[in-house]
Amino acid sequence: MEIINLEGTEDTPKIILDKTNKIFEISGRSLPEDSAEFYQPILDWLAEYAKDPLPETIFDFKLEYFNTASSKLILDVLTSLEDITNAKVHWYFYEEDEDMEEAGEEFSELVDVEFELMPY
Amino acid sequence: MKYIYDMHQMMLKNNIILVYEGEFTQEITKSVLAMAERNMDSIGEESGIKRKVFNVMVECLQNIVKHGEEYISGEKQINTAIFMIGKHKDSYIITSGNPIRNDLVENLREKLDMINSLDKEGLKSLYKDIIKSGTGLTEKGGAGLGFVDMARKSGQKLEYGFEPLKGDHSFFSLKTTVPRG
């Protein structure tokens, strides 16, 4: 499968989707002007990956900030993990960032995917 | 030339650390955010407060980018809005003002009143209801969550007002307070 490797910018997150090296990661800031357009390739990639996934998929979320328009798309990304056998989310948050911790808890209640909250 | 002095005095009196007036775009949003962040960094603001202010600013600025309306004032077509941040001893005040169509005023007022009537738990469940409603983003690319998020992150009521403009528009003013410490 092709690799998605997007450098983070001041308003878009860094994203790596790499089946060969088993890296599935979204990190940084997400407040793009058009969040639906930004996340569409990610959703397409995951739909393709779901057809023939690795035995285990650990998806790392290490977000520093995301806006509300992105939150809807992040939920879409998480929902698409429901279709991947043995997918698991590691939701990283800066230990003093209660809002990011709470966001992880809320997302975990909204989707049927194993979630682990990871303070750092 | 006195207006320069007056303007400066007015800003000092109201503890305003940043004002932007003009057209609002994503590029402008990024610049305003960067300036405000630098300002908070320079005084060593606590990171939790900084994150909340940043959060409220993003939603506020992107609201204007998405929903700010052009309106005709006399001969001129005006497509501008205002955004300000005030820094007080015990809080940051994030304010914005932009023209909106009169036919949207009642709906907006109801939405804000509803948000203001909710407590922390109520806001949380409203947020979850909206995000999982599955209706996708609005035609303007918003999730309909901006005000709810501003109320949640600030922990305060959203203050607002409408000033009638000529023609079929009103000026929508919004004020969010983020307590310090």
SS3 A76: helix
The whole-number pLDDT of residue A87 equals: 97
Range of the domain at A72: 57-120
Q: Indicate if the alpha-carbon torsion angle B59, A15, B25, A36 is positive or negative.
A: negative
Which of the residues A35, A38, A72 would you substitute to probe the B interface, choosing the one with the greatest number of B C-beta atoms within 10 Å?
A: A72
What is the total count of domains within chain A?
A: 1
Span B36-92, pLDDT tens digits: 999 999 999 999 999 999 999 999 999 999 887 766 565 565 667 999 999 999 999
Structure ipTM: 0.92
Query: How many residue pairs bridge chain A and chain B with CB atoms within 8 Å of each other?
Result: 61
Phi, psi of B130 (to 5 degrees): -70, -45
pLDDT band at residue A24 under the 50/70/90 scheme: very high
- Answer whether A110 sits within 8 Å of B131, measured CB to CB: yes
SS3 B130: helix
What is the total count of domains within chain B?
A: 1
HSE-CB for A120 with a 13 A CA cutoff: 13
The whole-number pLDDT of residue B144 equals: 77
Q: What is the CATH number of the domain that holds B131?
A: 3.30.565.10
Token pair for B38: 């630098």
Range of the domain at B99: 2-179
pLDDT band at residue B140 under the 50/70/90 scheme: low
Distance from the Cα of B29 to chain A's closest Cα (Å) equals 10
